[in-house]
Structures are given as C-alpha cells and as structure tokens.
Chain A
Amino acid sequence: AQSVTQLDSQVPVFEEAPVELRCNYSSSVSVYLFWYVQYPNQGLQLLLKYLSGSTLVESINGFEAEFNKSQTSFHLRKPSVHISDTAEYFCAVSDTGGYQKVTFGIGTKLQVIP
C-alpha cells in the first residue's frame, strides 16, 4: 500500500515570490508520482508527473518537481508565483503495474497575496 503526506495544509505567499509545496510518500514498490491542481469549483487537472528517468520534471506553467528517492519526496516548486496560481494542489502516488490506483494526499491550498 502507498501513502502520501502533504506537510502543509495552507501556504500563503506574496505574488512574484517563490514557493515550495512539500510532499512525502511511502511505498514498498516502485511508484509513479503526480501533482494535480484544483481551481475553485473545478475538477482536478494533472500538473506534472514523474514516471522514470530525469528526477526533475516541469509543467508548462512554470512549476517543477523533483523526485528524491532517498528522501521519498516529490516537492513542488515555482520561482515566482502569480495570482492565477491560487488553487489547491494535490500530491499523488500510484504503483507502476497495469492501470494503477492512485492515492492522494490531503491537499495544500496555495493562496497568492497581491
């Protein structure tokens, strides 16, 4: 079984400041890792994913996450946030076999302050 821990339930940050949303996972098998974003009153959208290879993965809107196997972490970062980044962010993990069941963290609400 897998589990995901998101260490911060809310993160306030000023516009144009950097941000890091923390995620740690636990699993006895190889995993895929994901970050999803949920804007108010919407469903979840995939932001980025780590499957294999390069441990640094990037999204099209400037977010990046780094897979650290030794620390079992997959933290999400952005060097300069915008108001439009205000949303809830979910870290998720799945095993690598077949059609994987995905386990989600409790979410981190990112509030960007003007």
Chain B
Amino acid sequence: DAGITQSPRHKVTETGTPVTLRCHQTENHRYMYWYRQDPGHGLRLIHYSYGVKDTDKGEVSDGYSVSRSKTEDFLLTLESATSSQTSVYFCAIPRTDNYGYTFGSGTRLTVV
C-alpha cells in the first residue's frame, strides 16, 4: 500500500554477518511494527515502536534489535544472522481508520 515501503525486497547474507532492514512510512504514524512470516507459524511480532526512540519487544525478539530515530523510519537489525532467521519480514503501520494494519511489501531474507 502507498505510504509504507520496505528495503531491500530481497537479501541473501552469510551466517554471522549483521543485517539491517528498513521500513519507511509517509503517514506520520506513531506506531510501527516488525513481523516475521514463516510457514506453519503465520506472522509473529518481533518488535514494535510507539514513538521516536520508544520501542518494545514482541514475542520473537531474541537476536533482533530495532531503532527509531525519526518518525518515518523503523530499522530492524540482525546483529549476527543465523539460518533460523531466514524468513520474510513485514513492516506494518496502523490503518488510516486505526483498525488493523497496512503492511509493507516485505523483505525476503535468506541466511546461508
């Protein structure tokens, strides 16, 4: 949807390397979310942010960190990538009507 973009769309990286995924929004929303999608698990919340420099953990936060230095950008970092972090990562913001989310197009990350 317009208003939220993720980069890169695809990335292959080696085990042990750091990786940063970017989510950018133009809707000026206070809240932003990072999910990962895996077969058999659906979408699981990694971290979320409720304002600049205000973040909190989700249900699968181990091995991930986030930063939010500007309202429009929410970064997800894998400090030392592992094969178990191979996944599709989605960023989301609240919808305009504040019920439910608008999702980015996702980042497909492969850790080899």
Q: A interface vs B, CB < 8 Å?
A: 6, 9, 32, 34, 36, 42-46, 49, 51, 90, 92, 94, 99, 101-107
B103–chain A nearest beta-carbon distance, Å:
4
Interface residues of A, dominant DSSP: strand
- Name B98's closest neighbour in chain A (CB-CB): A99
Say yes or no for B64: interface residue by CB 8 A criterion. no
Please judge, given known A-B contacts A9-B40, A106-B40, A107-B42, whether A32 and B100 are in contact too, CB under 8 Å.
yes
The answer to whether B94 touches A99 (Cβ under 8 A) is: yes
Which residues from A are CB-within-8-Å of B45?
101, 103
Query: Can you list 18 A-B contacts (CB < 8 A)?
Result: A34-B99, A43-B105, A44-B101, A45-B103, A46-B95, A49-B100, A51-B99, A99-B31, A99-B50, A101-B45, A101-B58, A102-B100, A102-B101, A104-B35, A104-B44, A106-B40, A106-B42, A107-B42
Interface residues as binary, B55-73 with A (CB distance below 8 Å gives 1, 0 otherwise): 0001000000000000000
B74 at the interface (CB under 8 A from A): no
In this assembly, does B43 line the interface, its C-beta being within 8 Å of a C-beta of chain A? yes
List, in ascending order, chain B residues with CB within 8 A of A51's CB: 99
Report how far A102 CA is from B31 CA in the complex, Å.
Answer: 12
Q: How far is the CA of A103 from the CA of B41 in the complex (A)?
A: 11
Q: A9-B40, A102-B100, A107-B42 are in contact. List 5 more A-B contacts (CB 8 A).
A: A49-B99, A94-B100, A99-B31, A99-B98, A101-B48
Q: Is B11 an interface residue (CB 8 A)?
A: no
Contact partners of A103 in chain B: CB under 8 A: 45
Report yes or no: B99 in contact with A105, Cβ–Cβ below 8 A: no
Closest to A47 in B: B100
Output the least CB separation between A86 and chain B (Å).
17
